[in-house]
Structure 1
Amino acid sequence: MPDTSRLQSLTEQLLAAARRAGADQADAVAVEASAVSVDVRGGRLELAERAEGVEIGLRVLLGGRQACVSASDHSARTIEDMAARAVAMAREAPVDDALGLADPGQLAHDTDSSRLDLFDHDPDPSPESLQEAALRAEAAAVAVQGISKIESASASFSRRHMWMSATNGFSAGLGRSGHGVSTIAITGEGTTMERDWAGESRVHGSDMPEPEEIGRLAGQRTVERRGARKPPTGAFPILYDERVASGLIGHLVSAANGAAIARGASWLRDALGEQVLPAGFDLIEQPQLKRMGGSRIFDGEGLPTAERALVRGGILQGWTLDLATGRKLGMDSTASAMRGVGGPPTPGVTNLALTPGELSRDDLIREMGRGLVVTSMLGASINSTTGDYSRGASGFWVENGEITHAVNECTIAGNLRDMLMRLTAANDIRDWRGMRVPSLLVEGMTVAGE
C-alpha cells in the first residue's frame, strides 16, 4: 500500500490555508486514485483506458455558512487560492444553524481500516491479464447456443486512497481496491434483437468468480429472452428477481433519508415507528463487513460507524442522518455521512441486508400462478412525496405457476407504501452485494402491456 503521508499533508495544508483565510471551521479531503479498464469485442481488443490522479477538496464553515471547492492541482498557490475562494463564497451563502463539524468527543478513536481488509495487496493485474479475462468471458458467452454477438466484454481494476482531516482534530484515511468483469450479449437480429448481461465486482481478485462463469451467465440470460413480447394489461402479482429487487428496497431507503425528511419531500415523512414492511422483515445496515467495497469504520464526518436497523420487525426505526440533517430534525447523527471532494457531507447507507424468506424463487413463481417476473427495469416515475410508482420493465410471463415466455415493453405501477406491505421474500439472497436483497413477490400491481 502506498504511503498516504502525502495525502495527509495536503489536507493539513488545506486546513492551514482555510484558517489563514478566516474560516471558523474546515474539513479537507485528498484522494489519490488509479483505474485500468479493458474492453474486447470479436476476440480483439476494443478499448483500453487508464486514469490516475490526485484530487483535493475543502469545505469551510463561517458563521453558519458553508462553501466547498475542489481542484486536481495541488500546488501551494492553488491551495491558498482555494481557501480564499471558499471563504469568499461562504460569506455570500445563506445561514444554516445546523451546519458544523462534529464535537471532538463524537469522533471515532479507532480509525485503522486495515481490519476491514478493503485493499488487495497482491500485485496489480497487468493490462494483458485484464484483456485475457475479458476475452475468456466473451468466449464463454459466444459459446452459448443462440448468441448472435457480444456487445461488449470488459475487465477492470482500480485502487483508491483517501485522507480526511478537520479542524476539530480528526485525521484518518483508508484505501480500497476493486476488480470487475462484465459481459453484454445479444441474441437475434433487427427488431427481434434482445440483450442481457452479467457482471461481478470484488475488493480482492481472489474472491472473483472465473470470467467464464460470468460470460456463460450473460449468454444464458440473453437466450432466455428470445421471442419476447408484450404482456397483457391488468392487475397481476409481480416477482422482482433478486437482480432488481434491491432497487425496490432502495426506494424505501431513499424515502427514509434524513435529507428528504428535512425537506418534507418523502412519502415516509410521517411513518417513523410505523409498519412499513410486513412483520418479520428486518433491514439492517452493516457498515463494517470485511472485504466489502462499501465498508467503513468512520463516516464522512469522522464519526464511528456501527450496525443499525433501519427496519425491525417491519417497523421503521429511524432516519439516515449526518450531523446537519440530524440537527435539523433534533436527532443524533447515525454516522451516515458520505463525502467526496466536491461537495458537503450527505446522508447515505452501505451494506444493507433484508431478511430472506423460506421459499425458493421457483416456489414463489408456482404460488403466483399468473403474473410477471421482472428481471430488468428502465426509466422511472416516482413521486417522492406520495410514493406513486411507475417503471418500464421486462422479464418473463408466468402461467399456471410456470414461466412461459419472455416479455418486454411493459410498464408496472403501484404505490410504494402499499407495495412494500404486500411483500413475500424468497431465500435466494446473494453474497458480495452492497444491498443483499432476495427476490420479492408483490401482490396486486398494475401491468400495462398490450
Structure 2
Amino acid sequence: MNDTLDSAKLTDRVAGLVEAAKQAGADAADAVVAMSRSTGVSVRLGKVENTGASESEDMSLRVFVDGRVASVSATVNSDAKALAERAVAMARVSPQDPYQSLADPALLARQTMDLDLFDPTVVSADRLRDDALAAEEAAMAVSGVTNSSGSGAGTGYFGMVLATSHGFLGQYGSSQFSRSTSVIAGEGTKMERDYEFSSRLHFAELDSPQDIGRKAGERAVKRLGGRKVKTGTVDVIFDPRVARGLAGHLTGAINGGAVARKTSFLRDLMGKRVASASITVTDDPLRRRGPASRPFDGEGVEGEKLFIVEKGVLHHWLLSTSSARELGLTTNGRGARNGSSVGPSPTNFAIEAGEASPQEMIRSLKSGFYVNELFGHGVDMITGEYSRGASGFWIENGELAYPVSEVTIASNLKSMFMSMVPASDLDRNFGIASPTLLIEGMTLAGN
C-alpha cells in the first residue's frame, strides 16, 4: 500500500480496535478500514463541466459473542473502547447465528503477495482535463457525429487494512485510472448514442484519448438507420460489452449466498453439466495486475485460481465463510467486505476464450443478430428466464448488413449456456470478462 494512505497509522488502529473488542468481552472479532481517494474531470463541447475530488476512510468492527454477531461502522477517529463496548452489547442481544464466524486460521494468508496493483503515478487535474478534451475532440471529428454527451478522465486509489483476533493482520492497495467519452450521431428523431472507455490499474496501459474518442464516434455513427426485423428464432452473437453481462449473471448464479437461499437457477447442479463443452470459466484472485485481484479476501483468506466451470461442468460456488458453513463446505476465499458485513463475490472472473475469431463466427452464420447493447432488467435469477431489449446489427450471408433497433431477445439462461460458443477475443482488463459469444436458437420479437 502506498505511504500516502498512512497505512501504518491505520494498521495500528484496526489492531487496537480488535484488542478493545476482546477486552470488552468478545470471543472473537475482526476490524477493517477501507480507504479511497479519487479525482475526476468531465467536459462537454470543449468546456469543463465538473472537477471533483473525494476521500474516505471508513472503519468497521465485527464481534462474536456466544454464537451471536454484531457489526458497527465508524470513522477511523472514533473511540475504540466505546465502539467495542457498543458492538459487544449489541451482539449479546442479537439472535444466535450458527453460520457466522471468523475464517479458519489454517486458511489465512501467511504473507501478502505483491500483485503489482498499485501505480504511484500522479496525474494532475490539468492532465485529466486535457485527456478528456482530447477524447471528445477525436469523437467529434468522426463524420456523422453531431453532439457530445460528455467526456471524462479520472484517477483513484483504494486500500484495505484488516485485523482479526486470531492473529491476521494484512493490507493492500490498488490504483485506478480511467478515460471515457460518449457522443451522439444523427439529428432529430434519428439520433443514436454510443460510448467508449478505458480503465486500468496502471496509467501507462490506458488506451489513448484519441483512440477512445474515435471508437466512440464510429460506434455511434454505425448505429444510424436502425430498423426492426421479423419475429422469429435466431442465432445471436453477443459483443464482448454485453457478453460480460452474461458472465455477470453466472456470478450471481454461483454465489454461495444465493445457492443457500435457493434463489439461483443453478442451485441443484453442482458437479453437473451446465454449459456447452466449449465453455470453461475461471476466477483468479491472484492474477498479477488483475483489475479485481486481491492478495487476501475480506476475511483474510488467500484464494486460489478456480476452474468454476470446466468443459461445461460446474465445479465450484463462490464462497465466504458464512455461506460455506451454511452449505456444509469450506470457504474458497471469495468473501468481500460490504460495509460491516461479508458476502461472496467474484475476483477476476472470465469465460475463457474459444478458437474462432469474432469475424469467423459472424461469417459462419447465414443469418443472425449481432447484439452490442441491451436494455431493461428482464432476468429472473431463480428460474433463469431471460428477456431483454436489444440493438445491434443484422447478419446476412456472413456479414453485418444493417443496424437493428427496438427488438427483444428472449430465452432461458440454462439453455443459453448449454448452446454457448466463445470466440477468441477475451480481454482480461475487466473484473468480469468474456469474449464474443454465440448463442443459438434465441427468440427475437420484432415486427
TM-score, normalisation: structure 1:
0.95
Aligned AA (1:361): P
Residue-pair matches, total: 444
TM-fit CA distance, 1:178: 0.5
Q: Secondary structure at the match of 1:95?
A: coil
Deviations 1:84-115 (A, max 9, x none): 3333332343322111102322211022x4x2
Give the Cα separation in 1 of the matches to 2:22 and 2:228: 63
Q: Secondary structure at the match of 1:49?
A: strand
Matches within 5 A, 1:259-338: 259-338=257-336
Q: Secondary structure at the match of 1:379?
A: strand
TM-fit CA distance, 1:76: 4.3
CA 1:361–1:80 in structure 2 vs 1: closer, same or farther (change >3 Å)? same
Tell me if structure 1 keeps the 8 A contact 2:247–2:350. no
TM-fit CA distance, 1:338: 0.8
Q: Secondary structure at the match of 2:364?
A: helix
Deviations 1:5-36 (A, max 9, x none): 11112212321332233322111111232100
Aligned AA (1:425): P
Structure 2 stretches lacking a partner, 5+ long: none
Q: Secondary structure at the match of 1:230?
A: coil
> Which among 29, 33, 52 is matched to residue 36 of structure 2?
33
Give the Cα separation in 2 of the matches to 1:393 and 1:146: 23
Deviations 1:249-295 (A, max 9, x none): 22122111111111111111111111111113211112111122311
Give the Cα separation in 2 of the matches to 1:85 and 1:369: 67
Give the Cα separation in 1 of the matches to 2:12 and 2:81: 14
Give the Cα separation in 1 of the matches to 2:376 and 2:42: 26
Matches within 5 A, 1:377-392: 377-392=374-389
> Which among 213, 216, 233 is matched to residue 214 of structure 2?
216
Give the Cα separation in 2 of the matches to 1:74 and 1:354: 39
TM-fit CA distance, 1:197: 0.5
Q: Percent identity?
A: 41
Tell me if structure 1 keeps the 8 A contact 2:385–2:411. yes
Aligned AA (2:186): G
Matches within 5 A, 1:64-103: 64-71=67-74, 73-77=75-79, 79-103=80-104
| Partner residue in 2 for 1:50 | 53
> Which among 394, 409, 416 is matched to residue 413 of structure 2?
416
Tell me if structure 2 keeps the 8 A contact 1:322–1:336. yes
Q: Secondary structure at the match of 1:333?
A: coil
Tell me if structure 2 keeps the 8 A contact 1:202–1:292. no
| CA RMSD between the two structures | 1.5
Give the Cα separation in 1 of the matches to 2:82 and 2:411: 51
Give the Cα separation in 2 of the matches to 1:293 and 1:432: 6
TM-fit CA distance, 1:400: 2.4
* Correspondence 1:432 to 2:394: no
Matches within 5 A, 1:24-173: 24-71=27-74, 73-77=75-79, 79-111=80-112, 113=113, 115-122=114-121, 124-173=122-171
Give the Cα separation in 1 of the matches to 2:446 and 2:50: 39
TM-fit CA distance, 1:412: 1.2
CA 1:139–1:66 in structure 2 vs 1: closer, same or farther (change >3 Å)? same
CA 1:76–1:279 in structure 2 vs 1: closer, same or farther (change >3 Å)? closer
Tell me if structure 2 keeps the 8 A contact 1:7–1:162. no
Give the Cα separation in 2 of the matches to 1:234 and 1:247: 23
* Correspondence 1:406 to 2:409: no
Q: Secondary structure at the match of 1:320?
A: coil
Give the Cα separation in 2 of the matches to 1:292 and 1:211: 22
TM-fit CA distance, 1:310: 0.2
Tell me if structure 2 keeps the 8 A contact 1:357–1:425. yes
Give the Cα separation in 2 of the matches to 1:207 and 1:343: 34
TM-fit CA distance, 1:407: 1.8
TM-fit CA distance, 1:200: 0.7
Tell me if structure 2 keeps the 8 A contact 1:354–1:436. yes
Give the Cα separation in 1 of the matches to 2:248 and 2:428: 17
Tell me if structure 1 keeps the 8 A contact 2:247–2:433. no
Q: Secondary structure at the match of 1:345?
A: strand
| Partner residue in 2 for 1:16 | 19
Give the Cα separation in 1 of the matches to 2:340 and 2:237: 38
* Correspondence 1:346 to 2:343: yes
Q: Secondary structure at the match of 1:250?
A: helix
Give the Cα separation in 2 of the matches to 1:103 and 1:316: 25
Aligned AA (1:70): S
